[in-house]
Amino acid sequence: MSENPLLAPIHGIALEDYGAACAKIANGVSEDAVAQALGVELPVWQEASLLWPERMKQDETYHIMTLFGQHFGSAEQHPKLGSLHAGASAGNAGNTERIKNDKAFYEELEVARQIAYEYGIDGAQWIVDEYGISLGDFQMAAVAWMDQIHKDLREDFDAHNERQAAYQEKYRKQFADAQGGNVADDISF
């Protein structure tokens, strides 16, 4: 069996390390803390973090990107990085755990985030402000739920779309009300 040379570690930092580190950094862990946990100097980490995306661009099969997503999504199990956490308040722990374990909650917040963007609001920041769920934790939940959501779509596409439409209606109303209505609300034909 031939080993893919694009999967070889960069300066001792394997793809598993890079994926988990990116998840931790997305959750507010410093690059210094990541480098220290991996046992490398900060410049070594920084160079590896520039080179891994370049390798991903070289992989026409997208296998490296797929593996990266898996490692990003399972960062909590990484032997060196799993215990690293930014100074987060305990108040968000319930929602962070809920998004990992409650698919409907994840799906609703995914729609809310997209609708927020439609209304000119940073959807990722809105999730942080309203629920205390960091972008990294949100993306880890997205990776974790991806296969199940695709399965649900195959099994009952219409039911999935009905749920999405209900969430869209709910959040369009919420964001419109918060902004004093939609631009065209006072126009009648």
Whether residue 94 is found in the same domain as residue 169: yes
Q: What would the DSSP string read from start to end of 19-82?
A: HHHHHHHHTT--HHHHHHHHTS-HHHHHHHHHHHHHHHHH-TT-HHHHHHHHHHHTGGG-TTTT
Q: Does the pLDDT value for residue 98 go beyond 50? A: yes
Q: CA 81, CA 35: separation in Å to the nearest integer?
A: 10
Amino acid in position 174: Q
Residues in contact with 62: Cβ distance below 8 Å, sequence separation at least 6, in sequence order:
none
Residues in contact with 22: Cβ distance below 8 Å, sequence separation at least 6, in sequence order:
49, 68, 72
Whether residue 119 is found in the same domain as residue 43: no
Q: CA 177, CA 144: separation in Å to the nearest integer?
A: 33
Q: Determine the longest span between alpha carbons in the chain, in angstroms.
A: 69
- pLDDT, position 165: 95
Q: Which of 51, 77, 103 is the last residue of a domain?
A: 77
Whether residue 62 is found in the same domain as residue 128: no
Q: Does the pLDDT value for residue 186 go beyond 70? A: no
The verdict on residue 183 lying in a domain is no
The verdict on residue 41 lying in a domain is yes
pLDDT in tens, 61-91: 999 999 998 999 888 899 999 888 775 444 5
CB 58 within 8 A of CB 10: no
pTM assigned to the model: 0.60
* Whole-number average pLDDT of the chain: 88
Whether residue 53 is found in the same domain as residue 106: no
Sign of torsion, CA 101 103 104 109? Answer: positive
Whether residue 129 is found in the same domain as residue 159: yes
Q: Does the pLDDT value for residue 182 go beyond 70? A: no
Q: Does the pLDDT value for residue 36 go beyond 90? A: yes
What total of structural domains would you count in the chain?
2
Percent of the chain whose predicted confidence (pLDDT) is above 70: 90
The verdict on residue 95 lying in a domain is yes
Sign of torsion, CA 145 146 148 149? Answer: positive
Segments forming the whole domain that contains residue 27: 5-77
The verdict on residue 84 lying in a domain is no
pLDDT in tens, 103-145: 999 999 999 999 999 999 999 889 988 888 888 888 888 888 9
